[in-house]
Chains A and B, each alone.
Chain A
Amino acid sequence: DSGVTQTPKHLITATGQRVTLRCSPRSGDLSVYWYQQSLDQGLQFLIQYYNGEERAKGNILERFSAQQFPDLHSELNLSSLELGDSALYFCASSLRQGAYEQYFGPGTRLTVT
């Protein structure tokens, strides 16, 4: 157990809908990262937050947004869902940003039907 929690574990929804994925970092970690992993694909970096502020952006679609709250938990919002958004979404946290080990959560498996 990495200490990073993600909810829900599984999510099934229809195209066009909106969902929110939640992540709680390890105690003391200030940085949160979001990744998307499609079936048999690599890890695509979406976005990173540090102590409540957005610090880096990867291949995140405009339909997706995220935020980190004062208690350091983070939410990833996915809207106008498409079939291609079906994937495993991982959250990771690290003590600081940059050259620090990232601890991954168990992931949320999103299925869009």
Chain B
Amino acid sequence: GENVEQHPSTLSVQEGDSAVIKCTYSDSASNYFPWYKQELGKRPQLIIDIRSNVGEKKDQRIAVTLNKTAKHFSLHITETQPEDSAVYFCAAVGSGGYQKVTFGTGTKLQVIP
């Protein structure tokens, strides 16, 4: 089955710096890659997603890149702010009739003011 590895598990950055979180997946049939932000005690919320026919997507300070050949995708947050502090999860969703969702293990991001 699909396996998603996420790195790093924790990340501390100074306010205003950039943060990068990387994920690799194993199933080449996966075609949808969302990123979720989860604040302590709250529900995960989608922050950005990318489909397999796109190499890059940007939304203000957040961007995601996808390399289908290497089977990895990354989340980039620029000009980090304290409110960006949270746990971030990547996920890979299969295609076709059997669409299992596999999440990465999460990255705890701390933005230091």
Contact = CB atoms under 8 A, between A and B. Distances in A.
Interface stretch (A12-20, A41-49, A62-70, A77-85): A41-49
Contacts of B95: 98-99
A105 B95 CA distance: 24
A42 B46 contact: no
B2 to A, nearest CB: 10
Interface residues of B, number: 25
Contacts of B102: 45, 58
Contact of B89 (A43, A99, A107): A43
Interface in B69-113: 89, 91, 93-95, 97-106
Contacts of B94: 56, 98
A10 interface: no
Contacts of A106: 42-43
B65 interface: no
Contact of B51 (A33, A35, A90, A99): A99
Given A45-B100, A45-B101, A58-B101, A99 B43 contact: no
Contacts of B32: 98-99
